[in-house]
Amino acid sequence: MNDYRLSDEELAELRAAHRRVRDIREAYRINAVILLGQGRGVKDIA
């Protein structure tokens, strides 16, 4: 299960959630999921 790619619609929803969130930790977590969904590697994100 190394393919974490997300659809454009899913990425758009995550970006909208990222803009709305106020907690910085939650924002970082959402950003990590966005990066994974775009095909970035886990080591790059860490």
Rounded average pLDDT over 28-35: 95
DSSP state of 39: T
pLDDT tops 60 at residue 1: no
Q: Is 22 in contact with 45 (CB distance < 8 Å)?
A: no
Q: Rounded CA gap, 29 and 46, in Å?
A: 11
pTM for this one?
A: 0.84
Rounded average pLDDT over 19-32: 96
| pLDDT, position 46 | 87
User: Where do the structural domains in the chain lie, given as residue ranges?
Assistant: 8-38
